[in-house]
Amino acid sequence: MTTPAFYRGSGLLFQSDIALTEYTPADASDPDAVIETGERAAKAAADAEPQTWEYDGFQASPLGPVIIVPDVAAYLVTGGNRIDVSPMPGGDPGMVRLYLIGSAIGMLFHQRGQVILHGAAVVQSSGITLFTGPSGAGKSTLAAHLAARGHAVLGDDTLPLDWEKGHAPRAWPGARVFKLCQDAADRLETAGQTRIAESYEKIFVENPCPGPETPVPLSEIVLLERTEATPELTRMNGLEAVAIIARNTYRPEYLRLIGTEGRHFEQIAALSAHVRTYRLARPWDAARMDETLDLLSEHWGAK
Amino acid sequence: MSAAPEHWPIALRVVCGCLVTEPSEATLELAASMTPAHWHNFNHLACVRHRVAQVVALHVDSLGAPPATVEEIRRETRACTIETLRQGAALRELLARLAEVDVDPVVLKGLPLAEHLYGSAGNRHARDIDILVPPAQIGAAAGVLEALDYRPAPQYRLRGRLVGTRALAEECYDLEFHGGRVSLPIELHWRTSHYAGWPDFTGDEKLTRVQDTSLGPVRVPNDCANLVYLAGHGSMHAWARLKWLADIGRLAHARGEDGLEEDLELSRKLGGEAPLALALRLSHQVLGSPLPVSLATRPSPTTRLEAQMCRVIEAPEIAPGTWRYKLSANIVSLQLADGPAQIMGVLRYALWRRIRLGLAGLVSRFRGRPALQ
């Protein structure tokens, strides 16, 4: 009997027969989650009730919730500890891995009852700063620039929180790579660029500072916004903070799918009391990146 | 006109028309005339006989293939994508472990070649993982494979016992392992040809490059070295599967006529011109890929061999592993050998290898040498 390879990321040990290129290879041990390729997810997708959910790409099946990415793969995520992957015919293996690391593992964390936020997580002296914002807001690019200045970066897409009652929310190191547009990667002049798939415009860039081996507390959340003026950082009030955290929860539609919306709202209300929340208005002109980086250094140095 | 010979079965000509470029008008017209029996044959040729279902799958819609054909091709491609994902995990782990013992192998064919020539690892069939290391690192690489639970394949037990001996390094060019975490074959190579004295780029960094793959940077042969290697590899297998010729056709397209002239020049220096010229001529005849002017303007010295290879491609079945198949491959190689040293290399492989390995095996057993089991 053979066993697949093991990878560690975001505080979990994965046993997977798909290479998890974002995570760190690990020694064999009792895994927290198992990832297997085969026909099981395809069968679940075929057996699913059509239009079960109002969201594109999700189906409820007798085996559990299935995420269906057309022309890529079907992912059956069950029990918070298992993902079955069935590539679609012709599905690019790079894209199969990409949605596995993102959507499918995101669903897995939701099933485990962990808050998972969307954004890039950078370590500074008092803990993690999570940069959030809509797609294209420059989260990964900002994180990559901060990494170039020596800040550890835990990940540039999602941040699953490991949170025990009575303690501060914290996160484990996750990604060994950033997902950047080619021009952003070229501007950074980074080594270790890896293609994701021929049909995908972003590439993986090696994370120069993947962070400590131990969990780090989450201290602040920063919403990225655009301005043409000088960069400015402003503190949000409590209600705004709850709204921002709710809006930047990773794939909130999954919560309805698995019926944990109520618990999640309680979690983010509690989270807003533990972390400071800011709005960072900054120019998107790459040539003015240093102004933003200097403002953040000043902010973190002042605390 | 479809590039493949007109007397070939219609289904085979349509398969050929899908392998290197978008299907031409002529190929689409041929496909439109196909009967259910032709499509049944098309499936067999693409999925089983020539192992090109993945690249053919990219065109089944434009060919107007019937639903049953599309479904079968899609089923085959899904199975291959699953296999590719598992191979990716195994290759990544293997490369990481080899790096820990300072072994930086060249990855032959497989995922890097598929991404380079076909856009995606899922678009080219790969049965196994092939890595190339210098002979001095055979033991270190075999040790890593053993630590990852790979074991010499049953037919390679003797070679497994001879790891670290001159007999193995000199008489053979590979050792196949099975098992491991994802249960697939891995071929450990220390030469690029079965035959001593044939073109080889083992340890020559100038003939390799680092390719950015979806698994990270991987050392691979450069395009020119790949052409020489794949031409030799295809000849050794008598070009029995179109999968191998499609690689040549795609590389030829990527290199263009000027690039191919340079490649021929280098292959001449390496002593591998005849297999490369044969591969390029065959690919031109069967798949319509470019032919450099220097080959197009002089009569082929291998016309009979080309016709023989075409008959092998056209044959409904092949029987790799049989003595007839092996004899045929060695005869082809003898005809392509460049000078007495290469002729001796073929004869040595065909006639002397087993004797020397057998003797070395007896000596190793007598000395109680530890074996990879």
In angstroms, the CA B71 to CA B57 distance is 10
Cβ distance B79 to B73 under 8 Å?
A: no
Mean pLDDT of chain B: 90
What is the DSSP code (8-state) at residue B23? P
Tokens of B93: 């782990």
In order, the DSSP letters of A252-284 are THHHHHHT-HHHHHHHHHHHHHHSEEEEEEE--
Q: State the nearest Cα–Cα gap between B22 and chain A, in angstroms.
A: 16
For residue A229, count CB atoms less than 10 angstroms from its CB and return exposed for 0-12, middle for 13-18, buried for 19 or more.
Answer: exposed
Of the CA atoms within 13 Å of residue B197, those in its CB half-sphere come to 16
Tokens of B169: 């390094």
φ/ψ of A248, rounded to 5, equals: -105, 20
Cβ distance B255 to B227 under 8 Å?
A: yes
Is the confidence at residue B151, as pLDDT, over 70? yes
Tokens of A33: 């989650």
CB contact under 8 A, B217 and A195: no
- Residues above pLDDT 70, as percent of chain A: 92
CB contact under 8 A, B82 and A3: no
Integer angstrom CA distances of residue A136 from B106, B166, B277: 38, 59, 50
Residue in B57, B84, B180 nearest the CB of A93: B84
Q: How confident is the model at residue B44 (pLDDT cuts 50, 70, 90)?
A: very high
Is the confidence at residue A260, as pLDDT, over 50? yes
Question: Which residue do the tokens 């491991």 mark?
Answer: B180
Is the confidence at residue B132, as pLDDT, over 60? yes
Whether A88 has its CB under 8 Å from any CB of chain B: the answer is: yes
Q: How many other β-carbons are positioned within 10 Å of the β-carbon of residue A194?
A: 18
pLDDT tens digit sequence for A188-206 = 666 667 777 777 777 787 7
* Mean pLDDT of all residues in B139-158: 92
What is the pLDDT at residue A139? 87
What residues of chain A lie within 8 A of the CB of B122, using their CB?
A: 87, 90-93
Q: Which residue of A has its CA nearest to B149?
A: A2
Residue in A2, A89, A193 nearest the CB of B78: A89
CB contact under 8 A, B88 and A93: yes
What is the pLDDT at residue A1? 34
CB contact under 8 A, A198 and B90: no
What is the pLDDT at residue B107? 97
Integer angstrom CA distances of residue B260 from B198, B226, B227, B265, B291: 20, 12, 9, 8, 8
In angstroms, the CA B120 to CA B116 distance is 8
pLDDT tens digit sequence for B217-263 = 899 999 999 999 999 999 888 898 999 999 999 999 999 999 999 99
pLDDT tens digit sequence for B82-118 = 989 989 989 988 998 999 999 999 999 999 999 999 9
Alpha-carbon A145 to chain mean position: 18
Cβ distance A139 to A150 under 8 Å?
A: no
Tokens of A15: 């046993």
What is the pLDDT at residue A259? 86
CB contact under 8 A, B78 and A19: no
What residues of chain B lie within 8 A of the CB of A5, using their CB?
A: 89-90, 92-93, 181-182
Residue in A3, A90, A96 nearest the CB of B85: A96
φ/ψ of B153, rounded to 5, equals: -60, 155
Residue in A17, A88, A197 nearest the CB of B89: A17
Chains A & B: contacts with CB separation below 8 Å: 112
Residue, of B364 and A303, whose pLDDT is higher: B364
Nearest to B215 by CA among B86, B359, B70: B86
pLDDT tens digit sequence for B5-22 = 899 999 999 999 999 999
Is the confidence at residue A44, as pLDDT, over 60? yes
φ/ψ of B299, rounded to 5, equals: -65, 145
Whether A86 has its CB under 8 Å from any CB of chain B: the answer is: yes
What is the rounded radius of gyration, in angstroms, for the C-alpha atoms of chain B? 21
pLDDT tens digit sequence for B156-205 = 989 999 998 999 999 999 999 998 766 689 999 999 988 888 888 887 88
Cβ distance A160 to A171 under 8 Å?
A: yes
What is the pLDDT at residue A273? 85
Is the confidence at residue B1, as pLDDT, over 50? no
What is the pLDDT at residue A210? 75
In angstroms, the CA A295 to CA A142 distance is 13
For residue B334, count CB atoms less than 10 angstroms from its CB and return exposed for 0-12, middle for 13-18, buried for 19 or more.
Answer: middle
Which of A12-26, B10-24, B316-330 ranks highest by mean pLDDT?
A: B10-24
The two beta strands, A5-9 and A12-16, are antiparallel
Cβ distance B160 to B176 under 8 Å?
A: no
Helix axes B323-336, B273-287, angle to 10 degrees: 110
* Mean pLDDT of all residues in A257-270: 87
CB contact under 8 A, B216 and A192: yes
In angstroms, the CA B266 to CA B231 distance is 13
In order, the DSSP letters of A28-79 are ----SEEEEESSHHHHHHHHSPTT-SSSTTEEEETTEEEEEETTTEEEEEET
* Mean pLDDT of all residues in A277-289: 89
